A and B are shown apart, each in its own frame.
Chain A
Amino acid sequence: MMAKLEFHDPSGALEVTQPHAPRLASLEGKRIGFVSNEQWQAFRMLPMLKEMLEEDFPGIEVLPVDAFPQGNALIGTEETAALVKQSGVDGVIVANAA
């Protein structure tokens, strides 16, 4: 006779409270920004990513890495979020190294 053990999943439920933004149909002709915590090699990587985007997608505008406030203390603030919205970007790449 088989022995059966039933027991609780211990991981706790997750709740999605922040819906994700709609994805873009294409990156061509779009405006993209960076929000960076400015840690580690961000000053090398993000300009390289900007260059790649500009090479691969005609008409794309990628804002400079420092277009928005940088650093752990600033990137999560409501003020930064408001600046991003006001800038009219179509999409944002969040760079977070820890």
Chain B
Amino acid sequence: MKNAVAGLGLAPDAAMVTFPIDMFLPGSDLAPLKARKREFYNGLTRWQPDFTRSAAGVNPMLAVEGASYEDALVKANNLLLTNLWGDGLPLWPATRERMDWIIRGTVLPRTHVLGKFPPRGGITTVETCAIALAMAGGRPEYLPVLIAAVEACFDPTTNFEQLQAASGGAFPVIIVNGPIAKQIRLNSGFGCLGPDPQRPAGAGIGRALRLLQQNVGGALPGIGTMANYGGMRYTNVVFAEDEEGLPPGWASHAAERHGFAPDANAVSLVFANGMTNIRRRGAKKETPEEDTVNGLWRIADFMRTPNLAGLNGWEQGTPGILMFPRVVAQTMAGLGWSKAKIREFLWENSKIPMAQMKRAGGPAWIEIDANPVTRASLELDPWPITMKPDNIVLIVAGGSHPTNSYWLQGYSPRVIGREIRVPEAFDRLLADADRDLGCGSDACMI
């Protein structure tokens, strides 16, 4: 609640009487309300704010001392954690020296305000982003991607304030297109959604974004975010599209969805709240055509579930991100499957019969949706999980192996694109990365 009022520009210690969830359940004991009635009365009559911190846009310095550097580092980590600014994994304190290094990754002034991070409303400057990236173990060449991702989050159509706080547990998925992906060692191949010591950029950028969500946005579990489970919230999801693996005629995601030039550096932000592997390949002597169609059916059958995850973005967002490895995309393209044809197949065959929707209580959620276009979809039988095929995000990424595809379940009112701006001296940062991390990203290819 402090987050909510602070995010509205009120003093964060505004007069509030809060109760745990028990009292809000049907048939609950309301005695606590009576016992605490004086708090309501005092809130209307006596309360005065204690909040004094000004909004100078300056991030003050903290200090710890230890018997050795390691001791001081432990104390710094303890201080960060006890102030609720950590995620439980070791952090790099954002010292002046580390900050001066990280901040080299941007063209923007350090004090440039990107926005206020909801729901708490913490003022987010370029410096605030650099602090989070420093703490996350990031590098300066990651900063342009992080800033673009934050800008995308702040797009007024994302409904970010609600997504940050809601129980559905949305997490940002950042899809990167353009040459910057390979330059900064961002994975698009084997294991691209997980840790990779040869391509560590996704972990650093995603963790920094999560630290911003928590430290600046106030999304603390059970307090600022009511996410039941909070999956993928250590690092969110940051990966690159495998542009070199795109079949002829298949546009990149950034070009297709956002209209960016084919060689533009760009991020695309999708919110998701689930992810699953779908075994796509056949097991016996299927022809290529049978293998393709069987796999698409298996995916459509999985998508055809009345869990209403995609309701948030039914009209203009997405029901999810479907990922194909390059070998599968190229085989399908060779058989005449364009991106549009794949989407059309999946959209048509993932429609849910209204009888099934009713059995699962789905129509009630559609009836109360805030979007009248979504509410009107109740007339449709079978019910399409999204308004149009183009809403389905189709990405070529993942290791070049034909067995699996991946579905990131969307929870995303919109899909937001932002161009990535790099500083003039970006090449120097990349040279530094080669020096620090050994071989360049090309040489590291498995």
Contacts and interface: CB of A to CB of B under 8 A. Distances in A.
A and B: partners?
A: yes
Interface of A: 2-18, 20, 23-27, 32, 39-41, 44-45, 48-49, 52-53, 56, 73, 91, 93, 96-98
Nearest to A7: B93
B125 to A, nearest CB: 8
A20 B69 CA distance: 46
A11 B76 CA distance: 15
A3 B10 CA distance: 40
Contact of B370 (A10, A12, A73, A96): A73
A7 B135 CA distance: 10
A15 B215 CA distance: 15
Contact of A11 (B25, B56, B66, B85): B85
Main SS of chain A's interface residues?
loop
Given A5-B72, A5-B95, A45-B33, A12 B123 contact: yes
Place the interface of chain B in its size category: 35 or more
A31 to B, nearest CB: 12
Contacts of A18: 8-10
A96 B2 CA distance: 12
B9 A16 contact: yes
A3 B59 contact: no
B93 A4 contact: no
- Counting chain B CB atoms within 10 Å of each CB, the highest count among A7, A14, A39, A96 belongs to A7
19 contacts: A2-B65, A6-B95, A7-B62, A7-B76, A8-B61, A8-B127, A9-B59, A9-B61, A10-B80, A12-B122, A16-B9, A18-B9, A23-B44, A26-B45, A40-B24, A40-B25, A48-B34, A52-B37, A98-B165
A48 B30 contact: yes
Interface of B: 1, 4, 6, 8-12, 14-15, 23-26, 28, 30, 33-34, 37, 40-41, 44-49, 51, 53-69, 71-73, 75-76, 80, 83, 85, 93-96, 98-99, 116-117, 120-125, 127-128, 131-132, 134-135, 165, 211, 215-216, 226, 370
